[in-house]
């Protein structure tokens, strides 16, 4: 199995007009959306191309704003900017917003193949901030600020250039933003969208949205998820064009899209998801089906309040504290509501009695 960087090197001098736009191209662009391009756009050039990001490499300033860190992003960016297929892409409409009150993490950029009049809107997924992860879970009980911003962004860029062929997508939270924008945006503008790529992103909580029709989005969406997929099967929408991709990583680390494999110029597919990830998805589906909006809000707000109360701003802040950091979160949750304690107990109990976690069965009375 080959890597995404191998794919970029193979396709380096081959334009999209020769091969057509591939699933692997969407994967490249959505990985590039994690690169912090602020410094490049601060120069305020009239026209910016992806190859202009070479300065980030030369200055040692490549920052990948992604929760699961990987040192291969510099290598991926170098391969992309040095290639004709990706380096010649014009980039525009870059936005990067972060806020803690309310929790918002929203970033997006457009890639344009002007020869083909093809544009791709790439929404960034969740970064390393606690606020970003909190906002991810807010979709369980409310429409988020990032979702509203995604809808407005897509309508604006397409309305300003409706003659182009438009695609959009994102990884993780970015995939959810693309789905939300496609479902809620102006119908006439949506007609210009050829394809949506949801890369291991959570589906839409339709109850929160008032049960909108999603048929038009399902017909145009390609969903790609790894073998171990948890995030990508939350609020599973049963998208017909779903592909399971092999990864070079293990377990939850397969969520990182830079680990996804390529075979013969296409994504490397496998037949089914792992049993452990399926168990997590079943638990989440059962919980959301049996819980009301208010219960979800109480549980998630209390969990993230316990995380932030220790001063953590990023996931790295938590992990750097080692076991003490997690103990602190546990202690703060002792004062949580009965709702939160019940959800945590149910999760632990089901894990203990599940056949997919060998050697952990037994009496769970001490967990009450």
What residues does each domain of the chain span? 4-273, 291-367
Which pLDDT score is estimated for 366?
34
CATH for the 4-273 domain, from 1.10.150, 3.30.2010, 3.40.50, 3.40.1350:
3.40.50
Which residues in 70-184 belong to E strands, given as ranges?
90-100, 103-113, 118-123, 165-171
Cα distances (Å, whole numbers) of residue 148 to 17, 99, 209, 320: 34, 15, 12, 34
**Tens-digit pLDDT profile for the chain (368 aa)?**
999 999 999 999 999 999 999 999 999 999 999 999 999 999 877 899 999 999 999 999 999 998 777 789 999 999 999 999 999 999 999 999 988 778 788 999 999 999 999 999 999 998 777 777 777 788 989 999 999 999 999 999 999 999 999 999 999 999 999 999 999 999 999 999 999 999 999 999 999 999 999 999 999 999 999 999 988 888 999 999 999 999 999 888 899 999 999 999 999 999 888 888 888 888 888 888 888 888 888 988 888 888 888 777 776 677 677 677 777 887 888 888 988 888 887 777 766 655 555 444 443 333 33
Helix locations, 143-257, DSSP H: 145-160, 173-184, 187-190, 206-209, 215-218
**What's residue 355's pLDDT?**
54
Asked if residues 58 and 79 have their Cβ atoms less than 8 Å apart, the reply is no
Give the integer Cα–Cα distance in Å for 39 and 317: 25
Question: Residues for the chain: how many in total?
Answer: 368
Residue 194 CB neighbours (<10 A): 14
| Tokens matching residue 111 | 């890639």
Give whole-number Cα distances, 149 to 101, 106, 141, 162, 168, in Å.
16, 8, 18, 19, 14
């Amino acid at each position: 199995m080959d890597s995404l960087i191998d794919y970029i090197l193979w396709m380096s001098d081959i334009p999209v007009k020769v091969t057509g736009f591939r699933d692997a191209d969407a994967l490249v662009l959505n990985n590039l959306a994690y690169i912090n391009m602020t410094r490049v756009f601060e120069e305020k050039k009239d026209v910016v191309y992806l190859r202009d990001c070479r300065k980030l490499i030369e200055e040692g300033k490549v920052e990948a704003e992604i929760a699961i860190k990987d040192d291969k992003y510099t290598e991926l960016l170098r391969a992309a900017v040095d290639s004709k297929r990706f380096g010649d892409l014009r980039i525009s409409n870059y936005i990067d917003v972060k806020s803690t009150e309310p929790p918002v993490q929203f970033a997006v950029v457009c890639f344009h193949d002007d020869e083909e009049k093809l544009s791709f809107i790439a929404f960034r997924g969740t970064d390393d901030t606690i606020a970003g992860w909190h906002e991810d879970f807010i979709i369980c009980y409310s429409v988020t600020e990032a979702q509203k911003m995604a809808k407005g962004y897509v309508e604006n860029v397409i309305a300003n250039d409706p003659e182009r062929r438009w695609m959009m997508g994102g990884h993780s939270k970015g995939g959810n933003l693309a789905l939300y924008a496609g479902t809620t945006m102006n119908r006439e503008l949506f007609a210009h969208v050829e394809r949506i790529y949801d890369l291991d992103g959570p589906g839409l909580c339709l109850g929160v949205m008032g049960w909108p029709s999603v048929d038009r989005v399902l017909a145009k969406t390609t969903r790609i998820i790894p073998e171990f997929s948890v995030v990508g099967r939350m609020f599973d929408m049963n998208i017909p064009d779903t592909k399971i991709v092999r990864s070079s990583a293990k377990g939850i680390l397969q969520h990182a899209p830079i680990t996804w494999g390529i075979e013969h110029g296409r994504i490397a597919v496998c037949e089914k998801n792992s049993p452990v990830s399926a168990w997590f998805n079943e638990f989440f589906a059962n919980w959301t089906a049996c819980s009301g909006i208010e219960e979800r809000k109480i549980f998630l707000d209390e969990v993230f309040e316990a995380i932030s109360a220790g001063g953590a701003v990023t996931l790295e802040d938590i992990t750097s504290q080692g076991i003490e950091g997690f103990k602190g979160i546990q202690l703060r949750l002792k004062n949580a509501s009965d709702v939160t304690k019940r959800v945590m107990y149910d999760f632990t109990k089901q894990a203990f009695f599940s056949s997919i976690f060998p050697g952990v069965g037994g009496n769970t009375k001490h967990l009450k």
